[in-house]
Amino acid sequence: MKKMTRGQLAKQTGLTPATIRFYEDRGVLPEPERSENGYRLYGEEYLTMVRFIQDTKALGYPLARIGETLRELGASPGIGVEALRGLVRRQIADIERQEQHLAEVKRHLNRLLDEYDDDEVREYARSFRRDSDR
């Protein structure tokens, strides 16, 4: 299996080397092996892990949770099929909860546009101001 430097991994994933280092420092990515001269060497599995991080971050997952999931997936002897299915089911349920929340926010915003007259909108906007700004 071909190994990559941090710069090569960054280039292939569209991240910066600093971002990859940040993920390592936070324990989201496992520390890679090192060459004899001390360079970090990343295997192909890091491409999969970084893409997983990117995808789950896009869904709004916090880095701590992403790191926990990656550690669970990479635990020796590895996650079983049923455990992986359970993990995927939980992620689907989280996405569905996020969809419901976003639908509620959208309904509220549509009501603001469609049901409130200008005076009510102004009053709504004033509710966000501090007392000294009113």
Q: In 3D, which of 100, 124, 102, 101 has the Cα closest to residue 112? A: 124
Instruction: Identify the domain boundary among 76, 97, 125.
Output: 76
Verify that 47 and 96 share a domain, yes or no.
no
Taking the model in full, what pTM does it have? 0.66
Answer left, alpha or beta for residue 61, where phi above 0 means left and psi between -120 and 50 means alpha. Answer: beta
Give CA separation, 45 vs 9, 88, 103, 115, 125, in Å.
Answer: 11, 19, 36, 52, 49
Residue 128: its pLDDT value, please? 86
Verify that 127 and 70 share a domain, yes or no.
no
Instruction: Identify the domain boundary among 55, 76, 97.
Output: 76
Residue 60: its pLDDT value, please? 80
- Enclosing domain of residue 12: 1-76
Residue 119: its pLDDT value, please? 86
- From first to last of its 134 residues, what are the pLDDT tens digits of the chain? 789 999 999 999 999 999 999 999 999 999 999 999 999 999 999 999 999 999 888 878 889 989 988 888 877 676 777 877 887 888 889 889 989 999 999 998 998 888 888 888 888 888 888 765 55
With contact defined as beta carbons under 8 Å apart, do 72 and 28 qualify?
Answer: no
Cα first-last separation, the chain: 65
Verify that 71 and 104 share a domain, yes or no.
no
Verify that 68 and 2 share a domain, yes or no.
yes
Residue 106: its pLDDT value, please? 95
Q: How far apart are CA 110 and CA 96, in angstroms?
A: 21
Q: Domains in the chain: how many in total? A: 2
